[in-house]
A and B are shown apart, each in its own frame.
Chain A
């Protein structure tokens, strides 16, 4: 899992658990800025079926802070992912 800085004009996306299994990657670089509410669309384009199979139940964080995409869609608080941000897609893990 790369914790190094992404190149200029990009942000780092970390994949955990099922998101990592689906993409077969632990992290990836995407172009910034990106409105947070568009994140899933961008990912769906790159990985067809990702939303339905994994993303729909995931938590999303930006710089180690939980963001609520539902609330975001209501227009209250349209967060934009910035260059250099560390974003993470965290599926619920239920095993133990």
Chain B
């Protein structure tokens, strides 16, 4: 719409001058209001003491120095090229992109400018990029943590995808750390990502942890949990530890404040809470025990939240720490263990933990865990936690292969070679997987006796009655998923006298239903 009247252009010019002035006035009023608010609520000296108290509240002093130096440096910091056009030195501590990207958390008193600068100056190590590590890493990258390290030696499998949200069908077969970094770079390219493409070992832990402010334990074995906790104690790093199985999760912020071993005012470590590892035979992985995606997701998200709270500190001082009393001087958050039960009521329970255990092997004055012992590999975490190899409890004569079973089932009579060992009667097939797995898929004609009933051997002997009703000359063939539980079950059945002093054959399917699928029926579901 070209105007041909000179008056029109004058009006236009005046209008734009007025709106520019109004905008400037608005900005000036805002600045004035902010300055007045600060002057009223906190005098300059109070402001500085409040800052000091915040910074010392359980957060490594290095962060204080870091973030303050960032604040102080703002005028000398090299400006992004896009802003070099501005002749004056940069006025603002964050880039324009950062103001926009982090705007929704920046405007919260809990974060604010200071919290964001501390996040940017922080480095966080995430060990394990699975069900916990994926959501934790996504939120920490999203929040603008300066450097994120990721440790994992595993590759992405299709059974991971219902919960490990950084990986995708397209990244199957990739190393988890690489898959994660590619997702995170797309999410926030402003973060530095460091990939460690191997499992954490006692020998590598100290060196790996050294360049990080905070560690997240997102691993899945007892051995790694003790190793990570020990390394954090030795190096004085706070640790955010979480775990999840089936429908439950646990969350703890450990070694916070991170005082040297022997200093009773430091936060408890993993060994203080769980001095004894669980018996190796009882340790169940998500692969065996199952896991609901959102359950482990909740725990990973909570880890990210605790990490942000620790790093960003507390800025909303008026409400959080009324007058900076003594309690807040020592530690604003006493150590706790948060329990999540997806199907429980209430779903969350927060347990108050003790301070450091007076006889703790890692963080007390009686500590036996030393940096030298850790680095030399003389602390054997796998042995400490016990190790269960594949079960090898049966004699070859007590086992059938998948081929043999297939041949027997295909013919009306038992295969000759098998018959010599097992007998001519067709065996009853006892599947000892838990009922929910049996219901997914099972061999034709098999009957279900869950292993949990056989192994607890408590008051319920229903399973025995069920098997005693089988005719005494009929052999019993026990099958399970992988061929471990089945061996233990055979032993238990013989102890209970089901083999009739050798008159009846009781044995198992070697390699379980996995062997059946691999050698006989590729259509048999692999779950």
**Interface presence of A94 (CB below 8 A):** yes
| Interface segment out of the listed B184-192, B451-459, B513-521 | B451-459
**Contact of A68 (CB < 8 Å), options: B131, B221, B354:** B354
Option from A3, A17, A92, A96 in Cβ contact (under 8 Å) with B128: A96
For B366-383 the 0/1 string (1 means CB < 8 A from A) is 000000000000000000
- Which residues of B are found within 8 Å of A52, using beta-carbon distances? 279
Contact A95 B286 (CB under 8 A): yes
Residue in chain A with minimal CB distance to B278: A57
Contact residues, A1-57 vs B (CB, 8 A):
1-3, 16-18, 21-22, 24, 26, 47-49, 52-54, 56-57
Q: Which of A2, A3, A88, A96 contacts B131 (CB 8 A)?
A: A96
| In the complex, chain A residues whose CB is within 8 Å of the CB of B222 | 92, 94
Give residues 241-256 of B contacting A (CB, 8 Å): 242-246, 248-250
> Contact mask B126-137 → A, CB, 8 Å, 1/0?
001011110000
Query: How many whole Å from B143's CB to the nearest CB in chain A?
Result: 21
Size bin of chain B's contact surface: 35 or more
Distance A35 CA – B130 CA, assembled complex (angstroms): 42
Q: Is B339 in the interface zone, CB < 8 Å from A?
A: yes
How many residues of A sit at the interface, in one of the four size bands? 20 to 34
B503 at the interface (CB under 8 A from A): no
Q: Tell me, rounded to whole Å, the shortest Cβ–Cβ distance linking B383 to chain A.
A: 16
Is the Cβ of A92 less than 8 Å from the Cβ of B277?
A: yes
> CB distance A68 to B357 under 8 Å?
yes
The answer to whether the Cβ of B9 comes within 8 Å of any Cβ in the partner chain is no
Check A49–B456 contact: CB distance below 8 A: yes
Query: What is the minimal beta-carbon distance from A24 to any residue of chain B, in angstroms?
Result: 8
Inter-chain CA distance A16–B248, complex, in Å, is 8
Encode contact with A along B274-303: 1 for CB under 8 Å, 0 otherwise: 111111011111100101000010010000
Bound-state Cα–Cα, A47 to B354, Å: 29
Determine which of A16, A48, A49, A53 lies in contact with B341 in the assembled complex, contact meaning CB atoms within 8 Å.
Answer: A16
Contact of A53 among B243, B281, B352 (CB under 8 A): B281
B178 within 8 A of A: no
> Which residues of A in the span 62-96 have a Cβ within 8 Å of any Cβ on B?
64-66, 68, 70-71, 88, 90-96
Q: Using A16-B341, A92-B222, A92-B274 as known contacts, say yes or no to A57 and B243 having CB atoms under 8 A apart.
A: no
Residue numbers of A with Cβ under 8 A of B are 1-3, 16-18, 21-22, 24, 26, 47-49, 52-54, 56-57, 59, 61, 64-66, 68, 70-71, 88, 90-96
Known contacts A66-B337, A94-B221; 13 additional CB pairs below 8 A are: A22-B456, A49-B458, A52-B279, A54-B278, A54-B279, A64-B350, A66-B351, A66-B353, A92-B225, A94-B225, A95-B220, A95-B291, A96-B299
A–B complex contacts, Cβ < 8 Å, 11 sampled:
A18-B282, A26-B344, A49-B458, A57-B276, A66-B273, A66-B353, A91-B282, A92-B274, A93-B249, A96-B131, A96-B220
Which residues in B have some Cβ–Cβ distance to A below 8 Å?
128, 130-133, 218-222, 224-225, 242-246, 248-250, 273-279, 281-286, 289, 291, 296, 299, 337, 339, 341, 343-346, 349-354, 357-358, 452, 456-458
